[in-house]
């Protein structure tokens, strides 16, 4: 009953009291914001916001600009050098647009003195400083950033406590699972699950392992589109110290959960196969962390509430 009440609180109208617990609503901007204080490149920032169901924020109008400057002021020294915005000219030199397609010329901002300078002809991204003015910057530098989710008439939330309908509830565990067909390396797969409010799926027992196997099989044809490694998917365990001790992303030993290795596995620690994976038949494998493979995420129903 408590879970249903929580989900009901998350499914709200555009007055915006909730989106997910790590976003704050700004009524004047009609949307939710999240400040990422840990610096990232522009590409990394854009991807992270997208994975969270938002966009890399830009000063697209007076109200959003006001909200951004307020958030930067509240953050204090952590954002004193500015934040990446979603405004960029990566498609055509000098033609700046926000991710939503708003041209820079339509935005209520002014350049910092002596900007733009397109230093070394390598500055295609826009940084916003605390007073609301902007400068061009190299997209590969690392900066804090802000994600923005514009409010709609209603925020639809499913039984998994998310608006991402890729997640489906598995009653036997009480958790929700999503198969990602877009192949990533293990680290990027971890990032994707984390951004969605979950984690790389952990097979805690045979029942859960067989559910993950079925999830893999049901999506196998789609998975083959984005990777040559269609016979394995990444899961949430690894040999982090390369000492033969396999642990889950939650810190427990794999052998205390479900150590259902395929025969003769694991076999590649010395060759760098230290990230956890599962074969199509549901048995476990060690795999190269750097290679691309599909993966499964798991989340609790209340992880975003």
Q: How many helices and strands, by DSSP H and E, does the chain display?
A: 6, 15
The stretch 190-200 carries a mean pLDDT of 96
* 155 Cβ neighbours under 8 A, 6+ residues apart: 10, 11, 12, 18, 19, 163
Residue 304 falls within a domain, yes or no?
no
Residue 189 falls within a domain, yes or no?
yes
Same-domain check for residues 28 and 63: yes
**What distance in Å separates the CA atoms of residue 283 and residue 258, rounded to the nearest whole number?**
10
**What distance in Å separates the CA atoms of residue 64 and residue 58, rounded to the nearest whole number?**
8
DSSP line for 171-227:
TTTTEEEEEEEEEE-HHHHHHHHHHTT-EE----SHHHHHHHHHHHHHTHHHHTTT-
pLDDT tens sequence across 260-292: 999 888 886 667 789 999 999 999 999 999 999
Structure tokens at 159: 């039984």
DSSP 56: E
Residue 258 falls within a domain, yes or no?
yes
Same-domain check for residues 146 and 188: no
Same-domain check for residues 8 and 71: yes
Q: Give the per-residue pLDDT at 281.
A: 92
Same-domain check for residues 132 and 253: no
Same-domain check for residues 143 and 173: no
Residue 158 falls within a domain, yes or no?
no
Same-domain check for residues 243 and 182: yes
> Domain range holding 203?
168-299
Residue 95 has pLDDT above 70, yes or no: yes
pLDDT tens sequence across 217-254: 998 877 666 667 788 999 999 998 888 889 999 999 99
- What pairing do the DSSP bridges indicate for beta strands 232-238 and 247-248? antiparallel
Same-domain check for residues 60 and 189: no
Structure tokens at 199: 């984690």
Residue 227 falls within a domain, yes or no?
yes
Residue 180 falls within a domain, yes or no?
yes
**What distance in Å separates the CA atoms of residue 36 and residue 146, rounded to the nearest whole number?**
6
Residue 108 falls within a domain, yes or no?
yes
pLDDT tens sequence across 105-139: 999 999 999 999 999 999 999 999 988 999 999 99
**Number of structural domains, the chain?**
2
Query: Of 150, 177, 192, which residue sits at a domain end?
Result: 150
Residue 225 falls within a domain, yes or no?
yes
CATH number, position 231? 3.10.100.10
Most confident of 92-96, 153-157, 160-164, 168-172: 168-172
Residue 48 has pLDDT above 90, yes or no: yes
Query: Of 124, 150, 176, which residue sits at a domain end?
Result: 150
**What distance in Å separates the CA atoms of residue 1 and residue 270, rounded to the nearest whole number?**
50
Structure tokens at 291: 């290679």
């Amino acid at each position: 009953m408590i879970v249903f009440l929580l989900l009901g609180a998350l499914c709200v109208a555009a007055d915006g009291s909730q989106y997910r617990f790590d976003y704050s609503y700004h009524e004047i901007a009609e949307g939710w914001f999240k400040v990422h204080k840990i610096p990232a490149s522009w590409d990394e920032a854009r991807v992270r916001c997208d994975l969270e169901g938002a966009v890399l924020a830009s000063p697209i109008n007076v109200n959003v600009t006001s909200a951004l400057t307020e958030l930067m002021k509240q953050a204090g020294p952590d954002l004193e050098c500015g934040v990446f915005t979603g405004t960029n000219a990566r498609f055509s030199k000098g033609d700046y647009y926000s991710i939503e397609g708003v041209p820079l010329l339509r935005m209520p901002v002014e350049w910092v003195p002596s900007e733009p300078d397109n230093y070394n002809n390598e500055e295609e991204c826009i940084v916003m400083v605390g007073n609301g003015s902007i400068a061009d910057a190299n997209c590969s530098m690392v900066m804090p950033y802000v994600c923005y989710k514009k409010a709609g008439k209603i925020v639809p939330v499913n039984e998994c406590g998310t608006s991402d309908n890729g997640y489906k509830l598995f009653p036997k565990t009480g958790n929700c699972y999503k198969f990602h067909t877009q192949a990533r390396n293990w680290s990027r797969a971890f990032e994707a699950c984390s951004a969605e409010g979950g984690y790389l799926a952990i097979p805690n027992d045979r029942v859960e392992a067989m559910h993950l196997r079925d999830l893999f099989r049901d999506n196998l044809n789609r998975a083959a589109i984005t990777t040559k490694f269609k016979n394995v998917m990444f899961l949430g365990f690894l040999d982090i110290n390369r000492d033969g001790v396999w642990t889950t992303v939650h810190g427990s030993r794999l052998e205390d959960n479900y150590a259902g290795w395929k025969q003769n596995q694991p076999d590649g620690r010395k060759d760098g196969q230290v990230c956890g994976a599962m074969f199509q038949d549901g048995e476990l494998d060690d795999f190269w962390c750097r290679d691309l493979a599909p993966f499964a995420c798991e989340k609790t129903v209340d992880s975003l509430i």
